[in-house]
Amino acid sequence: MPMNVESFNLDHTTVRAPYVRVADTKHLPGGDVLTKYDVRFCQPNAEHLEMPVVHSLEHTFAEHVRNHSADVVDFSPMGCQTGFYLLLAGEHPYPEVLDLVEATLRDVAAATEVPAANETQCGWAASHTLTGAQEAARAMLARRAEWDQVTA
């Protein structure tokens, strides 16, 4: 029987990270559309991102992605520490979303600081690593040609 959470219905043993996939599309009663993308950095159950890396990627990607698209609703980490969910308003051509992720990861790689990594703007300001976030962004970018191949 299918579960209510889309990712719980995904066979994590068949995917091959890194990848970007449409995880869900919701057509809301008012006519709006929300599309959730699974931006997977690490192979599930084989590797993960350390929490300071997750935290810094979240801050830096979330800030910079909005420079490239007004349709960004949210960028949130997965609890399993293997990736993130990118939530966009509307429906977008898949290649456009891949370009959006690529452009933003390039911004992360070139960043000089983690945005809002201070006690006034962040709930755990001591848990950040710009270097770690940049290493993860560069590793993901190095495998850009594979992002559309979700399963082996």
Q: What is the pTM of this model?
A: 0.96
* Span 11-21, pLDDT tens digits: 898 999 999 99
Residue 5 sits at the vertex; the CA angle it makes with 92 and 35, to the nearest 5 degrees, is: 10
17-143 carries CATH number 3.50.50.60:
no
Given a cut of 90, is residue 10 above it in pLDDT?
no
* Span 51-90, pLDDT tens digits: 999 999 999 999 999 999 999 999 999 999 999 999 999 9
Beta-carbon-side half-sphere exposure of residue 46 (alpha carbons within 13 Å): 12
* Span 83-137, pLDDT tens digits: 999 999 999 999 999 999 999 999 999 999 999 999 999 999 999 999 999 999 9
Strands (E) in the chain, as ranges, are 19-27, 33-40, 72-77, 83-89
